[in-house]
Amino acid sequence: MNTVELVIFLFFFLLVTVIGFLAARWRRADAMDSLDEWGLGGRGFGTFISWFLIGGDIYTAYTFIAVPATLYAGSVVGFFAVPYTIVLYPLIFIFVPRFWSVSHRHGYVTPADFVRGRFDSKPLALAVALTGLLATMPYIALQLVGIQVVLEIMGIGGGENASFLEKDLPLFIAFAVLAAYTYASGLRAPALIAFVKDTLIYIVILVAVFYLPTQLGGWGHIFDVASQSFDKFNSDNAGAIASGKAAGKGIMPPAAAHWAYASLALGSALALFMYPHSLTGVLASKNRTVIRRNAALLPAYSFLLGLLALLGFAAIAAGVTVTNPQQSVPALFDKMFPGWFAGVAFAAIAIGALVPAAIMSIAAANLWTRNIYKAFINPDATPKQEATQSKLVSLVVKFGALAFVLGLGTQDAINFQLLGGVWILQTMPALVFSLYTRWFHRWALLAGWAVGMVYGTLTAYNVPVPGKAGSHFGGPLAIVPFTDTTKGYIALTAFVINVLVAVVLTFAFRALKVDNGRDETSPADYHADAGDPGVEEVLEGEPGTAPTAR
Amino acid sequence: MSQRNAAPDGTARTRRTGGLWRVVFLLLAVGIVVPLLVGLYDSVDPRLFGFPFYYWFQFALIPVVSLLTWIAFRLSLRATDQDRPSYGLPTEPGSRSTGHEGGERR
């Protein structure tokens, strides 16, 4: 255990904890007991603060820990995160402005709100809301894994022989602190902490991606060492690879894995903006133009994400040997940097995981309160009851995430995020297709969703961890139906099945003239911009939410 | 795609801005499709600054797609403004004007 490292880490951790609790007083409203105040920060966030918040969706433990870990582990498809973040922005450009417009005209705050309004269907909205809640949990779990590996590398809570309590106690403490200040301060806490987080993260990223290669003989050498180490693994384990007990390693996908690579990238990109927390961030944008401009500007982040991913190879070149690949980047920092800087880096990673975990749990909680609690349980809820519900559910969601961490193996944490993608992508036909057309029948969309969810979950369940027969949820890839050997991202396969079911049943329901509900939106709603009639009015006091304190 | 949406006066839109939107979607399609064609770039050589082709090609795609998206953004601004009347919206949204349309902003 390195004392300097630990002291620096604890300093920053305490700092953000204090900020987290003080955040309740920042831009303070009269009371924290309405959903607008707790869950949406009083809706007073301008472009600048929103930018930091949205940044939290991009630089998470996913970027820092999980993606480099897949490269360190020699996954041939590990670099898919880069095409994923390239493909993402043109997609946002195309469909998100429409979602922004219709949401601002009708006061929709969650994806399920829109589905309810468009299809006049509570069951379909419920399906979308439940999927959002479920899919957010493994994504938060990924953040907790990020915190866990940092703690392990610092020598607290880790160790092969540590007892269960010793091993997980520090994680529980970090988790309890996160839960407590989210409960107390709502969205204000992560928004304020995001400033500390982003500053630390940019320093660490820039130093890491420019300094480390100079110490490790340059990128060319790093690639060579990684490649040779994978070749050696493949020849040493040729028998196991041939029999399917181990996966072959490499620095790029062989032809057989091309579809796996492309489908992971496309599936992840389509999935990202279905998540409740992403859409909440987008709705905070000032107008449609901001969204499209950002779609062109945000890819700058992808560049750093790609360089960060390559730190997995840098760890190999630096001779880092860890049994859990998730530890590779923290171990690399520990080995290559002086204690104080490693402490800063670890703090950056841990805080960089806490912020999105808080934002995600709040967004999921809002989804519960608006689309399940108010829609089904207590339609006459007071603003105070709504806020109480959201606060409690933000805790429930985090405990769900903890269950994922403790219940599933953390060796391949990226699988958490990819499993969330399998589920959330099934809401796309109801959410995105219906931004363009109302051809689909609401019951057909619900049936498609159900089939996609069942297929995706079962298929993911049946994927064993490599080398462990009979284990479950071992990876995001499965053989695509009607092919012999082509593997693809389960989320995308399930999505295609989902759409096929929805199309076939739409024809059927239309032929039978089953009622398709009343659409409360009009075509102009999908083009309205800030300042248009009906748009600003909606922002000030929406039907279905508490009146704002302003 | 969206230019075919059932607008109150969709035909006007297709005639006036349909071409513009087609260019926008073509530019965006490049950014969506090319990164997924792994067969285009799955080779080690030629290397650049030590990076295998596979890696530097994908890094190079980032600014290229960013630029294409920016051009698409500029074009879409023009097309959006021209489309607004056909959706029954005021020529200019209130927030982008100098504030004369205060009556509409409520």
- What CATH number did the domain enclosing A253 receive? 1.20.1730.10
Residue A492 has pLDDT above 70, yes or no: yes
pLDDT band, residue B94 (cuts 50/70/90): low
Cβ-based contacts of A87 with chain B (< 8 Å) = 31-32, 35-36
Q: Which of A10-24, A354-368, A526-540 has the lowest mean pLDDT?
A: A526-540
Residue A236 has pLDDT above 70, yes or no: yes
User: DSSP per residue over A327-376, as a string?
Assistant: GHHHHHHHHHS-HHHHHHHHHHHHHHHHHHHHHHHHHHHHHHIIIIIIII
pLDDT average, residue stretch A513-537: 73
Q: How far is B5 from chain A (nearest CA, A)?
A: 7
For A307-345, the pLDDT digits (tens) are 888 888 888 888 888 878 888 888 888 888 888 888 888
Distance in angstroms (rounded) separating the CA atoms of residues A87 and A99: 19
Q: Domain range for residue B81?
A: 21-91
CB contact under 8 A, B77 and A87: no
Q: State the pLDDT at residue A500.
A: 94
For A102-126, the pLDDT digits (tens) are 888 887 878 888 888 888 888 899 9
Cβ-based contacts of A266 with chain B (< 8 Å) = 36
In chain B, the number of structural domains is 1
Which H, E and C letters describe A114-150, residue by residue? HHHHHHCCHHHHHHHHHHHHHHHHHHHHHHHHHHHHH
Output DSSP code: residue B97.
S
Q: How far is B3 from chain A (nearest CA, A)?
A: 10
Residue A485 belongs to a domain:
no
For B31-82, the pLDDT digits (tens) are 889 888 888 888 888 888 888 888 899 999 999 988 898 888 888 887 777 7
Q: State the pLDDT at residue A127.
A: 92
CB contact under 8 A, A299 and B69: yes
Q: Is the dihedral of CA A188, A61, A413, B58 positive or negative?
A: positive
Residue B9 belongs to a domain:
no
Q: Are A22 and A164 in contact (CB under 8 A)?
A: no
Q: State the pLDDT at residue A241.
A: 74
For A409-463, the pLDDT digits (tens) are 666 667 777 888 899 999 999 888 888 888 888 899 999 999 999 999 888 888 8
Nearest CA in chain A to B74: A293
Cβ-based contacts of B62 with chain A (< 8 Å) = 82, 86, 299-300, 302-303, 306
Cβ-based contacts of B25 with chain A (< 8 Å) = 94
Between B36 and A242, residue with greater pLDDT: B36
Pick from A44-58, A295-309, A527-541 the range whose average pLDDT is largest. Answer: A295-309
Q: How far is A524 from chain B (nearest CA, A)?
A: 5
Give the one of A297, A526, A531 whose C-beta lies nearest to B95's C-beta. A531
* Cis status of the peptide bond prior to A547, with omega within 30 of 0: no
Residue B40 belongs to a domain:
yes
In chain A, the number of structural domains is 1
Distance in angstroms (rounded) separating the CA atoms of residues A541 and A550: 10
Residue A549 has pLDDT above 60, yes or no: no
Residue B15 has pLDDT above 60, yes or no: no
Distance in angstroms (rounded) separating the CA atoms of residues A111 and A116: 9
Q: How far is B85 from chain A (nearest CA, A)?
A: 10
pLDDT band, residue B12 (cuts 50/70/90): very low
Q: Are A265 and A87 in contact (CB under 8 A)?
A: yes
Q: Domain range for residue A373?
A: 3-20+54-414
CB contact under 8 A, B31 and A258: no
Give the one of A86, A289, A437 whose C-beta lies nearest to B62's C-beta. A86
To which residue do tokens 């700092």 refer? A15
Nearest CA in chain B to A77: B38
Pick from A22-26, A155-159, A525-529 the range whose average pLDDT is largest. Answer: A525-529
Q: How many CB atoms lie within 10 A of CB B49?
A: 9
Q: How far is B80 from chain A (nearest CA, A)?
A: 8
Q: Are A79 and A309 in contact (CB under 8 A)?
A: yes
CB contact under 8 A, B80 and A295: no
Q: How many percent of chain B have pLDDT more than 90?
A: 2
For A379-420, the pLDDT digits (tens) are 887 878 887 888 888 888 888 888 877 777 666 667 777 888
Cβ-based contacts of A292 with chain B (< 8 Å) = 72-73, 76-77
To which residue do tokens 């043109």 refer? A90
Q: State the pLDDT at residue A451.
A: 93
CB contact under 8 A, B51 and A292: no
Q: Are A349 and A332 in contact (CB under 8 A)?
A: no
Residue A290 has pLDDT above 60, yes or no: yes
Cβ-based contacts of A300 with chain B (< 8 Å) = 62, 66
Residue B28 belongs to a domain:
yes
Residue A184 has pLDDT above 60, yes or no: yes
Q: How many percent of chain A have pLDDT more than 90?
A: 6
pTM here? 0.83
Q: State the pLDDT at residue A60.
A: 78
Q: State the pLDDT at residue A38.
A: 55
Q: Which of A32-41, A218-227, A261-270, A293-302 has the lowest mean pLDDT?
A: A32-41
Residue A288 has pLDDT above 90, yes or no: no
Q: State the pLDDT at residue A426.
A: 93
Between A57 and B95, residue with greater pLDDT: A57
**What are the residues whose beta carbons fall under 8 Å from the beta carbon of A400, sequence distance 6 or more?**
A137, A140
Mutation site, A532, A536, A537, interface B, largest B CB count within 10 A: A532
Q: State the pLDDT at residue B99.
A: 36
Q: For residue A487, what are the β-bridge partners?
A: A479
Residue B6 belongs to a domain:
no
Distance in angstroms (rounded) separating the CA atoms of residues A99 and A201: 31
Q: State the pLDDT at residue A409.
A: 63
Averaged pLDDT score across all residues of chain A: 79
Residue B97 has pLDDT above 50, yes or no: no
pLDDT band, residue A31 (cuts 50/70/90): low
**B101-B105-B106 Cα angle (round to 5):** 125
Q: State the pLDDT at residue B17.
A: 74
- Residue among A27, A4, A23, A39 nearest A397 (CA): A39
Cβ-based contacts of B104 with chain A (< 8 Å) = 531-533
Distance in angstroms (rounded) separating the CA atoms of residues A275 and A270: 10
Give the one of B70, B76, B93 whose C-beta lies nearest to A532's C-beta. B93
Cβ-based contacts of A310 with chain B (< 8 Å) = 55
- Residue among A257, A236, A342, A311 nearest A70 (CA): A311
pLDDT band, residue A165 (cuts 50/70/90): low
Q: How many percent of chain B have pLDDT more than 70?
A: 70
Residue A42 has pLDDT above 60, yes or no: no
pLDDT average, residue stretch A89-101: 86
Residue A144 belongs to a domain:
yes
Residue A213 belongs to a domain:
yes
**A270-A275-A281 Cα angle (round to 5):** 105
Residue A247 has pLDDT above 80, yes or no: no
Q: State the pLDDT at residue A276.
A: 84
